[in-house]
Amino acid sequence: MTRVLLIEDDASLGRTLAERLEREQVSVNWVRTVAEARTALAAESWNLAIVDVTLPDGSGFGLARLIRKGTTTPIMFMTALNSAESRLEGFEIGAEEYLPKPFHLKEFIIRVRLLLARQRPPDPLKVGGFRLDFDAMSVESPDGEKVFLQVRDNRVLKLLVDAAPRVVNRSEILDRVWGEDHFPTPRAVDNAIVRLRQALKDEDGQIIRSVRGIGYQWAGSSEA
């Protein structure tokens, strides 16, 4: 069953949203604080985190950065903070949606439905005998050896596969995987590529090609 973590400190609104989501056949864990949310995030995986920005023990933005750092869970903000600066901060963190309060309940449900449909895990991809599972963040070799990827390495791999055959430059990878808040260097991208090639046993760079002066290209051919 689809699992949603709802972080909202307003008792009336939180109860209404949780009940409405459950009518959508969604399993909801409603929490009211950053501390409770951190416990829930550490205990289980989630298909979506719906985050209020103003919480009694901290900022939803800070919580979202924690989610982004350690998981691939999609994030939807809902908040009365509706300035251009707040929306921009939310999207720079990596949120998929930003819903200003007050909102119509039907709009909330429509946005959640679209997000969950978009975030259904892709089918594992088979390339050269390797099985790439982006949901499990793993690469399984033909002999059954399985390597689990770091969160950002998994995102880099997914970005390259989705962009193929386009060459993706380092700046785009940095912006879309690390974000502007982390101030990484292009070397961080190169190190991720090294780890991915090791997982794919692609020492000669035939699956993930280096394009001098630009970035990287996914050159693997998928199998049925």
Domain span at residue 23?
A: 3-118
Indicate if the pLDDT at residue 40 is higher than 70: yes
Q: Please, which pLDDT band fits residue 57 given cuts at 50, 70 and 90?
A: very high
Q: Containing H/E element for 217?
A: strand 215-218
Looking at the fold, whether 158 and 180 belong to one and the same domain comes out as yes
Looking at the fold, whether 188 and 165 belong to one and the same domain comes out as yes
Question: CATH code at 32?
Answer: 3.40.50.2300
Indicate if the pLDDT at residue 167 is higher than 90: yes
User: What pLDDT, on the 0 to 100 scale, is given for residue 134?
Assistant: 86
How far apart, in Å, are the Cα atoms of 21 and each of 15, 73, 109? 10, 17, 7
Contact of 87 with 118, CB cutoff 8 Å: no
For the chain, the domain total comes to 2
Looking at the fold, whether 113 and 146 belong to one and the same domain comes out as no
Q: Indicate the average pLDDT of the chain.
A: 89
Looking at the fold, whether 105 and 10 belong to one and the same domain comes out as yes
- Does a structural domain hold residue 223? no
User: What pLDDT, on the 0 to 100 scale, is given for residue 125?
Assistant: 85
Question: Each residue of 210-223: pLDDT tens digit?
Answer: 999 899 999 987 66
For 187-192, the CB contacts below 8 A with 24+ separation are: 189/156, 189/215, 189/216, 192/150, 192/152, 192/153, 192/156
Q: Give residues with Cβ within 8 angstroms of 133, minimum separation 6.
A: 124, 139, 140
C-alpha 161/C-alpha 171 separation (Å) is: 17
C-alpha 49/C-alpha 64 separation (Å) is: 9
Looking at the fold, whether 108 and 28 belong to one and the same domain comes out as yes
C-alpha 199/C-alpha 178 separation (Å) is: 21
Phi-psi region of 179 (alpha: psi -120 to 50; beta: other; left: phi over 0): left
Q: Among the three residues 99, 118, 137, which one is the final residue of a domain in this structure?
A: 118
- Does a structural domain hold residue 110? yes
- Does a structural domain hold residue 156? yes
pTM to 2 decimal places: 0.58
Looking at the fold, whether 194 and 89 belong to one and the same domain comes out as no
Contact of 176 with 92, CB cutoff 8 Å: no
- The average pLDDT across 99-110 equals 94
Looking at the fold, whether 21 and 111 belong to one and the same domain comes out as yes
Q: Give residues with Cβ within 8 angstroms of 181, minimum separation 6.
A: 65, 92, 93
Q: Among the three residues 92, 118, 144, which one is the final residue of a domain in this structure?
A: 118
Question: Each residue of 84-98: pLDDT tens digit?
Answer: 899 999 998 888 899
Question: Each residue of 182-196: pLDDT tens digit?
Answer: 567 888 999 999 999
Indicate if the pLDDT at residue 116 is higher than 60: yes
